[in-house]
Amino acid sequence: MQFVSIIMGSKSDYEIMKNCADTFEKFNVKYEMIVSSAHRSPERTKEYVKGAEEKGAVAFIAAAGMAAHLAGALAATTTKPVIGVPMKGGAMDGMDAMLSTVQMPSGMPVATVALGKAGAVNAAYLAMQILALSDKELAVKLKEDRIVKSKAVETDSKEIEV
Ligand code: RP5
């Protein structure tokens, strides 16, 4: 069974990462979601990734704030795509997490998305675009979603156009 795994460093990341899960729900894409920390529970994180790969995880989404090493720790453990979502809330209100997530050494990529809700949603979209490479039905759904978004811009514009 193919699925996407969402891991967050703390339960305090859930409010934002729920938007990621909701996006998968909207497209009927299977996912798993757990809390595990690169720093507070490194062994649990490593064991989880191993088990998730065996169960069919095709990509990992890692959300963390402050010294956000979770996505990097996953990238060190798996060769599946890793998408990093930096969380706001640290001393630099997310810039610390963003740089910790994005600045990976060569050969160890983490696809880093935006801070906050947009990043949580985009992590799901990016994972689905990866899945859609071998899932024609999902590819069609993603194209249809683009059309809906484009039409919504026109509708919004009509409401305020002068
Ligand atoms: C990170 O530290 C977590 O991902 C979270 O964003 C941040 C703060 O965690 P808590 O102290 O709220 O558990 O590891």
Q: Model confidence over 103-126: pLDDT tens digits?
A: 999 999 999 999 999 999 999 999
The pLDDT of residue 123 is 99
In ligand 1, the atom with minimum distance to the C-alpha of 40 is: 14
40 known member of a binding site: yes
Class of the domain covering 3-135: alpha beta
pLDDT tens-digit profile of 18-44?
Answer: 999 999 999 999 999 999 999 999 999
Positive or negative: CA dihedral 122, 126, 131, 136: positive
In this structure, the residue with its CA closest to atom 9 of ligand 1 is: 10
Rounded to the nearest integer, the mean pLDDT of the chain is 98
ipTM score here? Answer: 0.97
The pLDDT of residue 19 is 98
In this structure, the residue with its CA closest to atom 5 of ligand 1 is: 65
The average pLDDT across 91-96 equals 96
Beta pairing, strands 111-112 & 82-87: parallel
Q: Which two tokens stand for residue 55?
A: 């169960």
State the Cα–Cα distance between residues 147 and 142, nearest whole angstrom. Answer: 9
Cα–Cα distances in angstroms (integers) from residue 78 to residues 52, 72, 94, 127, 139, in the given order: 10, 10, 25, 15, 25
Within 9-137, strands assigned E span 31-35, 57-65, 82-87, 111-112
Residue type for position 75: A
Ligand 1 geometric centre to CA of 105 (Å): 23
Ligand 1 proximity of 90 Cβ (cutoff 6 Å) = no
The full set of domain ranges for the chain reads 3-135
12 known member of a binding site: no
The average pLDDT across 93-112 equals 98
The average pLDDT across 89-107 equals 96
156 known member of a binding site: no
Ligand 1 proximity of 86 Cβ (cutoff 6 Å) = no
| CA atoms within 13 A of residue 28's CA, in its CB half-sphere | 5
In this structure, the residue with its CA closest to atom 7 of ligand 1 is: 65
The pLDDT of residue 107 is 98
- Regarding pTM above 0.90, the answer is yes
Closest to 38 in 3D by CA, of 58, 65, 56: 65
State the Cα–Cα distance between residues 37 and 68, nearest whole angstrom. Answer: 10
Ligand 1 proximity of 40 Cβ (cutoff 6 Å) = no
The pLDDT of residue 71 is 98
